[in-house]
Amino acid sequence: MNKSRLRSIYSIPYTAWILLFVLAPIALIVYYSFFDLAGNFTLANYRNFFTSVYLSLTISSFLYAFLITFFSLLIAYPTAYLLTKTKHKQLWLLLIIIPSWINLLLKTYAFIGLMGLYGPLNAFLETVGIGKQQILFTDFSFVFVSVYIFIPFMILPIFNALDKLNPALIDASRDLGASSWTTFRRVIWPLTTNGVKSGIQVVFIPALSLFMITRLIAGNKVITLGTAIEQQFLVTQNWGMGSTIAVFLIVFMFIIMLVTNGKEKGASDNGKAR
Amino acid sequence: MKSIIQSAILILLVSGILLFINAELSEGSKAGKGTITVYNWGEYIDPDLIKQFEEETGIKVIYETFDSNEGMMSKIEQGGTSYDISVPSEYMIEMMKEKDLLLPIDYSKVPNIKHIDPYFLDLAFDPGNEYSVPYFWGTVGIAFNPTLLEGQSFESWDDLWDPSLKQRVILVDSARETIGMGLNSLGYSLNSTNPQELREATDKLKALSPNVKAVIGDEVTQLMINNEAAVSLTWSGQAADMMYENEDIDYVVPEEGSNLWFDNIVIPKTAKNIDGAHAFINFMLDPEVAAQNTDYVGYSTPNLSALELMDPEVVEDERFYPDEETRSHLEVYKNLGLELLGVYNERFLEFKMDMK
């Protein structure tokens, strides 16, 4: 009796937090999405979402988010693996994490200078003999800078998963005659998929709604859902339409969470069965 | 457990000390007639003048900036901060009046209004200047760097569509300016409410895509100064900033017409120090102050007495002080209402999506 009362006291901060800062805002967004500019109840915002530019906007947002996540993973996994093998791994990890403490906008502005026509990157290309290229305001610069920004968030969970991996398992696999590739595919990868999945979650979802970088680095040649939401709220003052796009973003978020969590079970079951 | 309590106490103690120091610091400067909070565009006032105002009147100025009319209005609408002064553009003043967000100006406290050119008073967006006092004005046009080009000129908006400008034109990330440019290039009004005209303008803009290098905001100034970009759609004062740093740059308003805009000082409903706000307005209209401010900011001043104090070379520059005859070809933005603003933005988004 006493114990359960104590537990309910402990749960107050958590419940209050979830109610005030998670459920209430989502409920408000859903509520606003049913109103038009004049404040009348309507489903027009949802119809608008499927009939106008927003649908192709969603598709291109997904495409870029996929690219960003893919390249982050491609770089983060080997990096994390290498880190676990180094002597002072916590120090090396810290060095990778530190840049993520610097303000995002500052880092983005630095890239404008680095990638400019007269920046160091182009100076290098010129000495190598390739010649000046337009780097800023391209798909490449957008994906590159985004990957740079998200990489620490991808490395961290993968590093933790790899670090927890019992080395005896790898030794056992090698002793039983598995090649390096088989060991990776059958032992290391299945045991670290959890880390990879949380990495994907923290990268993919924010990448869908990036908006400052789209303007500063991509010159608005890449548009994401985040840009559209910002514009609806600040410029057009159409809170209804902005909320509708946000509702879809939340739905996509849940789908991604479901997909990444679902696979996780299968993988670990597989591991156990073998 | 003990160490947790200890560190919690330590954190509270440090926070308490910092809070106390902060309060002490602001206490010292609060002497005099209180404070006013000024909400202005970025880079839109000479900071020395704020100091001068504080010394002359004893009123402390808290200065905050915004980067879009709409963002500014939604912040004032929500309340929260008690802004005493803001500087919206003409169509936004119309909208804020409709929403009852402005306080009337008491001209007995603003004698310096006599210095303002009557041309800029009693305009359609605020008859009798009941709620607003002119601050700066300007145009929208094309800034370009002839040394990076091969002799192209920009008498007409259509010159931007020239195939030789592939990947060299920078547009501004604002729906009214960019769609307005498309409308102007077709000879339509930039306040067009006709869906057919808007459609044509959007399609024409899409044809510009191969020439567009980027669609950005204030960052364009630095890109032009560093010779990174050759041509940009921009506001006159921004062009003046570019020309100040890079003498090669030139500015032109194409002949089909363009936007003529006014930024006026207003006192929002959120104001707490209304006397202080009036003192600030009167101070900014003082000819010497206005001349110094114009010299710093680079936009065009509506203050006739200030013009007499300024460098005649600047004042006679037709690019920044077009005569009344030229001004009559230019159009002022009308408040189109939220519905149409939404349409403009959707068309703009469509254009941006098309750019690859």
In this complex, the residue of A112, A117, A232 whose CB is nearest that of residue B219 is: A112
B28 vs chain A: nearest CA distance in angstroms? Answer: 32
One domain, residues B114 and B253: no
Q: Is the pLDDT of residue B3 over 70?
A: yes
How far apart, in whole angstroms, are the C-alpha atoms of residue B93 and residue B95? 5
- Chain A residue at shortest CA distance from B69: A235
Closest CA to A240 of A20, A10, A29, A2: A29
Largest CA distance in chain B: 80
B213 vs A contacts (CB less than 8 Å): 134, 137, 219
Interface contact flag, A236 B352, Cβ < 8 Å:
no
B228 vs A contacts (CB less than 8 Å): 116-118, 136
Mutation for B interface: A108, A237, A238, most B CBs within 10 A? A237
CA angle B246, B247, B249 (to 5 degrees): 80
pLDDT digits (tens, 9 = 90+) for B271-285: 999 999 999 999 999
How far apart, in whole angstroms, are the C-alpha atoms of residue B74 and residue B81? 12
How far apart, in whole angstroms, are the C-alpha atoms of residue A221 and residue A237? 23
Closest CA to B224 of B253, B252, B244: B244
One domain, residues B251 and B311: no
Interface contact flag, B213 A220, Cβ < 8 Å:
no
A116 vs B contacts (CB less than 8 Å): 223, 226, 228
Residues in contact with B177: Cβ distance below 8 Å, sequence separation at least 6, in sequence order:
B140, B233, B259
B173 vs A contacts (CB less than 8 Å): 215, 220
How far apart, in whole angstroms, are the C-alpha atoms of residue A37 and residue A58? 23
In this complex, the residue of B217, B227, B352 whose CB is nearest that of residue A223 is: B352
Interface contact flag, B70 A237, Cβ < 8 Å:
yes
B89 vs chain A: nearest CA distance in angstroms? Answer: 14
Which stretches of chain B sit within 8 Å of chain A by CB? 68, 70-71, 74, 167, 170, 173, 175, 213-217, 219, 222-223, 226-228, 338-339, 341-342, 345-346, 349-350, 352-353, 355-356
Interface contact flag, A236 B227, Cβ < 8 Å:
no
Q: So what's the pLDDT on residue A39?
A: 85
- C-beta separation of B198 from B341 below 8 A: no
First-to-last CA distance in chain A? 45
Interface contact flag, A223 B68, Cβ < 8 Å:
no
Neighbour count for residue A249 (Cβ, 10 Å)? 20
Neighbour count for residue A163 (Cβ, 10 Å)? 15
Interface contact flag, B346 A53, Cβ < 8 Å:
yes
DSSP string across B236-288: HHHHHHHHHH-TT-EEE--TT--BEEEEEEEEETT-S-HHHHHHHHHHHHSHH
Q: Identify residue B197 by its one-letter amino acid code.
A: E
Show the tokens assigned to A59: 């598709």
How far apart, in whole angstroms, are the C-alpha atoms of residue B278 and residue B291? 19
How far apart, in whole angstroms, are the C-alpha atoms of residue A14 and residue A17? 5
**Count of pairs with CB atoms under 8 A, one residue in A, one in B:** 81
The reported pTM is: 0.85
Per the domain annotation, does B86 fall within a domain? yes
Per the domain annotation, does B196 fall within a domain? yes
Residue in the block written with tokens 């038009």: A36
One domain, residues B216 and B341: yes
pLDDT digits (tens, 9 = 90+) for B167-215: 999 999 988 999 999 999 999 999 999 999 999 999 999 999 999 999 9
Chain center to CA of A230 = 19
How far apart, in whole angstroms, are the C-alpha atoms of residue B299 and residue B321? 9
Closest CA to B96 of B125, B66, B63: B125
Per the domain annotation, does B128 fall within a domain? yes
Give the three-class secondary structure for B338: helix
Per the domain annotation, does B23 fall within a domain? no
Q: So what's the pLDDT on residue B78?
A: 85
One domain, residues B88 and B204: no
B198 vs A contacts (CB less than 8 Å): none
How far apart, in whole angstroms, are the C-alpha atoms of residue B78 and residue A234? 13
Per the domain annotation, does B2 fall within a domain? no
Question: Given the DSSP bridges, would you call strands B132-144 and B260-268 parallel, antiparallel or unpaired?
Answer: antiparallel
In this complex, the residue of A117, A219, A241 whose CB is nearest that of residue B214 is: A219
A24 vs chain B: nearest CA distance in angstroms? Answer: 19
B345 vs A contacts (CB less than 8 Å): 231-232, 235-236
A136 vs B contacts (CB less than 8 Å): 214, 228
Which of B76-80, B194-198, B327-331 reaches the highest mean pLDDT? B194-198
The CA-atom distances, in angstroms, between A149 and each of A27, A111, A155 are: 31, 11, 12
Q: So what's the pLDDT on residue B281?
A: 96
Interface contact flag, A215 B216, Cβ < 8 Å:
yes
Q: Is the pLDDT of residue B142 over 70?
A: yes
Interface contact flag, A231 B215, Cβ < 8 Å:
no
User: Average pLDDT, stretch B41-45?
Assistant: 89
DSSP at B128: G
Interface contact flag, A219 B356, Cβ < 8 Å:
no
Per the domain annotation, does B199 fall within a domain? yes
Per the domain annotation, does B76 fall within a domain? yes
Q: So what's the pLDDT on residue B27?
A: 58
Does the beta carbon of A52 lie under 8 angstroms from any beta carbon of chain B?
A: yes
Give the three-class secondary structure for B62: strand
Q: So what's the pLDDT on residue B80?
A: 80
- Chain A residue at shortest CA distance from B350: A53
Cβ-count burial B88-100 (b if 16+ within 10 Å, e if not):
bbbbbbbbbbeee
- C-beta separation of B267 from B101 below 8 A: no
A216 vs B contacts (CB less than 8 Å): 216, 219
A234 vs B contacts (CB less than 8 Å): 68, 70-71, 74
**Could you tell me how many residues make up chain B?**
356
How far apart, in whole angstroms, are the C-alpha atoms of residue B356 and residue B350? 12
One domain, residues B343 and B310: no
Q: Tell me the sheet residues that pair with B138.
A: B261
DSSP at B300: B
One domain, residues B87 and B162: no
Per the domain annotation, does B54 fall within a domain? yes
- Look up the domain containing B220 and give its range: 138-260+330-354
How far apart, in whole angstroms, are the C-alpha atoms of residue A199 and residue B70? 37
One domain, residues B286 and B241: no
B99 vs A contacts (CB less than 8 Å): none
Neighbour count for residue B64 (Cβ, 10 Å)? 13
Show the tokens assigned to B77: 């609408």
One domain, residues B113 and B239: no
In this complex, the residue of B214, B227, B338 whose CB is nearest that of residue A220 is: B214
In this complex, the residue of B216, B217, B338 whose CB is nearest that of residue A37 is: B338
What ipTM is given for this predicted complex?
0.84
One domain, residues B224 and B344: yes
CA angle A227, A231, A236 (to 5 degrees): 165
CATH of the domain at B100: 3.40.190.10
Q: So what's the pLDDT on residue A273?
A: 38
Structural domains counted in chain B: 2
One domain, residues B216 and B159: yes
One domain, residues B109 and B131: yes
The CA-atom distances, in angstroms, between B10 and each of B1, B18, B19, B273, B291 are: 14, 12, 14, 39, 53
B96 vs chain A: nearest CA distance in angstroms? Answer: 13
Q: What is the three-state SS of chain A?
A: CHHHHHHHHHHHHHHHHHHHHHHHHHHHHHHHCCECCCCCECCHHHHHHHHCHHHHHHHHHHHHHHHHHHHHHHHHHHHHHHHHHCCCHHHHHHHHHHHHHCCHHHHHHHHHHHHCCCCHHHHHHHHHCCCCCCCCCCHHHHHHHHHHHHHHHHHHHHHHHHHHCCHHHHHHHHHCCCCHHHHHHHHHHHHHHHHHHHHHHHHHHHHHCCCHHHHHCCCCCCCCHHHHHHHHHHCCCCHHHHHHHHHHHHHHHHHHHHHHHHHHHHHHHHHHHC
A111 vs B contacts (CB less than 8 Å): none
Interface contact flag, A221 B215, Cβ < 8 Å:
yes
B349 vs chain A: nearest CA distance in angstroms? Answer: 8
pLDDT, one tens digit for every residue, chain A (274 residues): 577 788 888 889 999 999 999 999 999 999 999 998 888 899 999 998 998 788 989 999 999 999 999 999 999 999 999 999 898 999 999 998 898 889 988 999 999 989 988 889 999 999 998 888 889 999 999 999 999 999 999 999 999 999 999 989 999 999 999 998 999 999 999 999 999 999 999 999 899 988 889 989 999 989 889 888 988 888 888 889 999 999 999 999 899 888 887 654 444 444 443 3
User: Is the torsion defined by CA of B330, B290, B232, B172 positive or negative?
Assistant: negative
Residue in the block written with tokens 């609806």: A232
Helical residues (DSSP H) of chain B, grouped into ranges: 2-29, 47-57, 69-78, 90-98, 175-185, 195-208, 220-225, 236-245, 274-285, 287-297, 304-309, 312-315, 324-327, 337-354
How far apart, in whole angstroms, are the C-alpha atoms of residue A170 and residue A223? 44
One domain, residues B75 and B102: yes
